[in-house]
Amino acid sequence: MNIKIIVVGKLKEKYLKQGIAEYTKRLSKFCKFKIVEVADEKAPEKLSEAEMMQVKETEGERILNKIKDKEYVYALAILGKERSSEEMAQELQNLGTYGHSDLTFVIGGSLGLSETVLKRADTQVSFGRFTLPHQLMRLVLTEQIYRSFMINVGSPYHK
């Protein structure tokens, strides 16, 4: 199985990089895992609705350029479907079983994801109604993907 996370912007915080590196190493036993960064657009504090849409569309084009047709895409979105860790584990296992071996998760920039990215997604997933920094979300998502594999192999890690 190939799992990719596409993210907007660069990761700067050392502690987040270390956490992601640890889970990436652990995931190597189960899948090919990588994180792909696309450039973020400069977005001043005060943007009109049209300017916000333009920023999201520009970032969205960069994201879509990194997605192949065969990839099953999860868009992270506050209004997406919430899943338990067990439900996510089952879903990933089912996708692998039924021919979806290339999974891509997309984390948008500070303004979220464009409509075109949301339309391309096969499903949307929410980690709740909290707003989290997208850099921190990388770590949370990477850990949850690892947790899914651990659940599927019956490891006590999940408890």
Residue 108, marked binder: yes
Q: How many CA atoms lie within 13 A of 86 on its CB side?
A: 3
Q: Which is nearest to 80 in space by CA: 106, 103, 100?
A: 106
d(CA 57, CA 49): 12
Residue 79, marked binder: no
Q: Which is nearest to 110 in space by CA: 56, 51, 36, 62?
A: 56
| Binding-site positions | 76, 108
| Binding-site positions for S-adenosyl-L-methionine | 76, 108
